[in-house]
Amino acid sequence: MNGAEGKSRQLELVAAIRNVHEELRYKVQKDPDSYLKIWEEHNADPVRSKYASAMHSLATEVWASKSAGGDRIEIIGNVIMNYFMGGGLQKVFRRMHRKYSSISSAPEKVDRFGSFPENELKVLDVGSCYNPFARFKFDVTAIDLCPATQGVFQCDFINVPLGNEFVVSENCIKCLPSNYFHAVIFSLLLEYLPDSRLRLSAVHRAYRVLRDDGILVVVTPDSKHQQKNQDMVKSWRNALSQLGFDRISYAKHDHLHCLAFRKLCRISRTIMSLKNLCEHSFDEMCECCTDRLSPMLFIHQDKLDYLSKFEPDPIRERSSEEQEHDALMFNELPGS
C-alpha cells in the first residue's frame, strides 16, 4: 500500500470509528438520564462489528507503523511486569512496613510478596479488540463488546455480573470473578464510554475484580505537552483515590498518558486513614457516590457540542476542538 493509499485507508478507518463515538455522545447529550439504556442499545447495534473491524485495522495497520513515540502495548506490559516482577510491589510493602512501625495498633508485621512468575499473572484486558497482550506470557482474559479476533471473549464489562467464578458460554462471559485479577487494563477504553457515569462504573468494577494490591493500568491519548491536560489527570487521580485506589506510577509519553493505580488492601487503607465518605464498603456504589465522583472522570470531549452536529446547520464546519480530538485519538497515536 503506497502513501496515498495508506492515507486514504487511514481516513476511512478514522471516520468509521469517530462516527460511532460521536453518535453515542450525541445520544447521551440529548437524553442524559437514559445513558444506561443508550449503552445497552449500543451493545445490540450491528454497527459494533464494523467498529471492531475498523479499530483492529487501525491498530494493526496504522498505529503499528507509528511506534516512534512508544508502543502502548509494550508500555502497559512493562508497567505490569515492573510492579509484579521488578520490585514494585515489594517497594510498596516496604513503605507500608516503615509507616506501620509508628502505629501502635498495627500488626507486628506486614505480609510481603515475592515476585510473580509472568505466566501466573492474571490480567483482564477490557475493550481488548484483538488480544494484543498475547505477546506476553500473562494469563490474559481479553474481553470486548464485539471481539475482532478469536481469543477474545464477548463481554459487556459495564453490565456483566460479578460473582465467585467465571461463567462462560459459547465464547461469551456471563460472570466475572471478584477479587481475582492481578491487573486490569483500560487501554483507550474510558474515551469510548460516552458518559462519566459509565466511566465511574467501569473503574469501580475494576476495583471489584482486582485482588488486593492488584493494579489498574489506564492509557488515554494526548499528544499535547505534559502539563496541558493535567487538570483531567489530577481529577482522575482524586476520583480513584476515593474509590480505594492509590496511584503508583504515571508517565506522559509522546501521544498518551499511562497511569497505574493499586487497589489498596485493608492494611493500607488503615495506614492512609482512607474511609469511604458514604460510610459503606468500597465494593459498594451508592447514588451519592455516583453524583460526587462521576463528574471527576471527565474527558475533554464531554465539552464538545454534539447536538449541533447531529441536529445540524447544514453548512456547519467541524470546530478546531473537534479536529484536534480526531488528531489526538486516531491520527497521531502510535502503538499496535
- Residue with cell string 483492529: 56
Contact criterion met (CB below 8 Å) for 107 and 126: no
Q: At a CB cut-off of 8 Å and minimum separation 6, what does 268 contact? A: 96, 213, 246, 262, 274
The CA dihedral of 11, 12, 13, 16, to the nearest 10 degrees, is 120
Q: Which among 46, 67, 62 has a CA at the least distance from the CA of 12?
A: 62
Contact assessment for residue 232 and residue 250, using Cβ atoms and an 8 Å cutoff: no
d(CA 190, CA 240): 13
Residue 124 contacts residue 183 (beta carbons within 8 Å): yes
Provide, for the chain, the percentages of residues in helix, strand and coil under a 3-state DSSP scheme, each rounded to the nearest 5. Answer: 45, 20, 35
The answer to whether 31 is annotated as binding is no
- 127 is an annotated ligand-binding site residue: yes
Q: Are 112 and 213 in contact (CB under 8 A)?
A: no
- Number of Cβ within 10 Å of residue 281's Cβ equals 9
Separation of alpha carbons 119 and 84, rounded Å? 12
**Rounded to an integer, what distance in angstroms lies between the CA atom of residue 199 and that of residue 299?**
10
Contact yes or no for 90/152 (Cβ under 8 A): no
- E strands in 145-192: 153-154, 162-163, 167-169, 172-177, 181-187
Annotated binding residues for S-adenosyl-L-methionine, written as ranges, equal 127, 144
Annotated binding residues, written as ranges, equal 127, 144
